[in-house]
Structure 1
Amino acid sequence: MPTSQTPPPKETAARRSLWSAALVGAGIMAGIDEIVFHQLLQWHHFFDHATPTIGIVSDGLLHAAELLAIVIGAFLLLDLAQRRRLAAHWAWAGLFLGMGGFQLFDGIVSHKLLRIHQIRYGVDLFAYDLAWNLSALGLLLMGMWLYRRAKRRDR
């Protein structure tokens, strides 16, 4: 029986589903960024203010972190599913919140505040920054809509 300090099992499952899927979402978005912009288009590396070798190593570290996030999040979701505790509506919200959260963090913190890389070099960045951050906001809005829907559904 849950104590007054322990959330009810359904609430715990919802929270775990949300955060586990958010981890997967952040990893997926990091993977899309790394594959498309770092490898295929070769517009930037995770860290661009050093030698090309350091840029490639920084991409490898980002790739390792993204894979860890996806694998750990997936195992957490599988554990919930195996125990019949997965709250799929909360997991979908978490997936989109994780994707949008990573995208917005990258666009604001990495690109503008820390300036460890830009989306692209040698061009006017306004349109690129706008598209990057608006796509992040779109993912976050979808995640928030799914979050509110999951919350209403559980009432």
Structure 2
Amino acid sequence: MASGGGADLVAPRSLRAPGIVLGVGIGGFVDGILLHQLLRWHHMLTSTDDDRIGVKYYDPNTVSGLEMNTVWDGVFHAVCWVAVVGGLGLLYSRVTQDRRAVWGSRVLWGWVLVGWGLFNLVEGVLDHHILGIHHVRGGPHQVWWDVAFLVLGLVLVGVGYLVQRGGRVSGRRS
């Protein structure tokens, strides 16, 4: 389809699934690297002493507890890695020419933001609120941290949707 002097090489709709899957993986990596490792606010099982499903508690302040939490953080990162590789595979299968234009497109990066936001929403509702296996930051104000995580997810979905909506994937260099 032609528009404004450059032909769209990839239908923007075909970037939705790869962008969202990439965004889920990248969002998970940001969560795991920033909140689990750098800030050390939580690990995958740090609230299981007060969870809603009866998972054994592994106190992250003991060596054995930290070891088990680190194993589950590793499982979490492995799932994030699979999502990123899967998103890249989807992207590669759908884009056969001028891949550089796709990487620079608002369409792809908008969908990546949507995926990151969806990660926050699903992980936040499931792990923080329904299962209660960990919280963004445990303590007396943990509900506010958990709600802020969900609000960030909504903002990422909204901004990502708006960013991709106005974008094109074209062979024209801007």
TM-score, length-normalised on structure 2? 0.70
In structure 2, the residue matched to 1:36 is 34
User: What is the rounded CA distance, in whole Å, between the counterparts of 1:147 and 1:127 in structure 2?
Assistant: 30
Q: Per-residue CA shift, 1:58-92, capped at 9, x if unaligned? A: 10011011111112212322333334585944323
Secondary structure at the counterpart of residue 82 of structure 1 = coil
Q: Pairwise CA RMSD of aligned residues? A: 2.5
In structure 1, the residue matched to 2:92 is 78
Structure 2: runs of 5 or more not aligned = 1-7, 49-56, 59-64, 169-174
- Following TM superposition, by how much is the alpha carbon of 1:93 offset from its aligned partner in structure 2, in angstroms? 2.8
In structure 1, the residue matched to 2:4 is none
In structure 1, the residue matched to 2:71 is 57
In structure 1, the residue matched to 2:43 is 45
* 1:5-154 to 2 correspondences below 5 Å: 13-48=11-46, 49=48, 50-51=57-58, 52=65, 53-83=67-97, 88-149=105-166
In structure 2, the residue matched to 1:7 is none
Q: Percent identity?
A: 30
User: What is the rounded CA distance, in whole Å, between the counterparts of 2:13 and 2:76 in structure 1?
Assistant: 26
TM-score, length-normalised on structure 1? 0.77
Aligned length: 141
Residues 89 and 40 of structure 1, relative CA distance in 2, 3 Å threshold: closer
- Following TM superposition, by how much is the alpha carbon of 1:120 offset from its aligned partner in structure 2, in angstroms? 1.6
Q: Per-residue CA shift, 1:94-137, capped at 9, x if unaligned? A: 21110000011122221001112111222312431232122111
User: What is the rounded CA distance, in whole Å, between the counterparts of 1:93 and 1:122 in structure 2?
Assistant: 34
Q: Which has the higher contact order (CA 8 A, sep 6+)?
A: 2
Aligned AA (2:113): F
Aligned AA (1:73): G
